Amino acid sequence: MRREDRVPYAQAVWASFQSKAGTGRDMASSEFMVVSRWMDRSIPLPVVLRAIHEFDGAPRRLEAVVVSVERAEAYWFKAMGGL
């Protein structure tokens, strides 16, 4: 991921999470690390946002949606022809 794309990616993830969680708090450093790992793995933003949106319930922390994002990433990778 290009350096200039990292901030908008993190902002979009956080905005989606806040909407789903119904919170207005700031992102904790541990939550930023989760987003950073997704960026480092080049998980497409739409895949992450969909996983957050489809999470069952209202997550209290971003870490709660990690498994959902990993499942969505695996599905996306397979759909794109990955092995």
- Residue span of the structural domain in which 24 resides: 3-79
E strands, the chain, in order: none
Decide if pLDDT at 30 tops 90. yes
Domain count, the chain: 1
- Average pLDDT value for residue range 2-11: 96
Q: Can you tell me the distance from the alpha carbon of 1 to that of 10, in angstroms, rounded to the nearest whole number?
A: 12
17-33: average pLDDT: 95
Torsion of CA 29, 40, 54, 64, to 10 degrees: -40
Count of other CB atoms within 10 angstroms of residue 29: 6
